[in-house]
Homo-oligomer: A and B are copies of this chain.
Amino acid sequence: MDVALELFVERGAAATPVTTIEAAAGLSPGSGSFYRHFKDKEALLAAVVEREVTRVGKDPDAQVENTDGAGEQRLATQLRSDLDYLGELRSLIMILLWERNRAPELAEWVRKTSADRGIELGVEALRLAGPSAAVEEDEVAAATVMQSAMIGYFLAAEYFGASPADVDPDRFTAALARLLTNRDA
């Protein structure tokens, strides 16, 4: 399952022959030894995804409460922690990206358990940070901007293999927090 996870993350399950999994696991490729462990590749994929879901926990908001400080600094710390959490979800995110069309129900599950919940938590975080007028005018839209920026930054970094525009995670989250708590005189 460990080697399968890596292969599925990099190339997708569909593009990973069973023989390749066998070879990576130290089995004789083409021997069919794989089938003594899993019914077929689908079963392995399901097991791998389920293990990842369990590993990262069903509690993406565990870190929300124990952030200290207030205002912009508090939000920046929160966002930096969220970005690390996205990193923990990396394998899961990449696999779900590969499987996006084969399993529309998975996308729906992601939306309900992560995306929508993330917006709710985002609105809360913005309130705790002491929102600016620009945020208060449409809190949900502001939280959507925040979430979109985070996932967009994460995916761009993954895709390019480097920080977009050479803006590192600390600098990015600081800028995002600044924009969301902006109080120009």
Contacts and interface: CB of A to CB of B under 8 A. Distances in A.
A119 B165 contact: yes
A43 interface: no
Interface stretch (A25-33, A45-53, A57-65, A154-162): A154-162
B152 A184 contact: no
Contact of A149 (B14, B115, B132, B145): B145
Contacts of A107: 159-161
B184 A115 contact: no
A133 interface: yes
Contacts of A141: 167, 171-172, 174-175
A155 B151 contact: yes
A142 interface: yes
10 closest A-B pairs by beta carbon, nearest first, are A152-B152, A141-B175, A148-B152, A149-B149, A134-B182, A148-B153, A182-B182, A151-B152, A134-B178, A144-B167
